[in-house]
Structure 1
Amino acid sequence: MNLLLIGSGGREHALAWALSASPLLDKLYCAPGNAGIADVAECVRLDPADHAAVIGFCREHNIELVVIGPEAPLVAGLGDALGVAGIRYFGPTKAAAQLEGSKGFTKDLCREANIPTAAYGRFSDAASAKTYLAAQSVPIVVKADGLAAGKGVIIATTREEAEAAIDACFSGAFGAAGSEVVIEEFLDGEEASFFALCDGETALPLVSAQDHKRVGEGDTGPNTGGMGAYSPAPVMTPEITDRVMREIIVPTVETMAKRGTPFKGVLFAGLMITASGPKLIEYNVRFGDPETQVLMMRLKSDLLAALLATADGVLKDFDLRWSEDAALTVVMAANGYPGTPTKGTEIKGLEAAKLIPDVEIFHAGTRRDGDRLLADGGRVLNVTGRGRTVAEARDAAYAAIAKIDWPGGFYRSDIGWRALQRRG
Structure 2
Amino acid sequence: MTVVKDFALPDLGEGLTESELVNWHVAVGDEVRLNQIIAEVETAKALVELPSPWSGVVSALYVEPGVTVSVGERMIAFEVEGEPDAPPVPSVPAAAADLPEPNLVGYGAPAESGDRPHRRPRPGLAVAVEPVAVSASVSTAERPRATPPVRRLARERGVDLRALVGSGDRGVITRHDVEAVVTAGTATETATGTATGAAAAAAPVRERRFPIKGVRRLTAEAMVRSAFTAPHATVFLTVDVTPTSELLDRLRARREFADNRPGLLAIVAKALCLAIRRTPSVNARWEEATQEIVEFGYVNLGIAAATPRGLVVPTIPDAESLNLGELATAIRELAETARAGRTAPERLSGGTISITNVGVFGVDAGTPILTPGEAAILALGAVRRQPWEHRGEIALREVVTLALSFDHRVVDGEQAARFLADIGRILADPATTLAMV
Same fold (TM over 0.5): no
Higher relative contact order (CA 8 A, sep 6+): 1
In the superposition, the TM-score normalised over structure 2's length comes to 0.25
Query: Greater CA radius of gyration, 1 or 2?
Result: 2
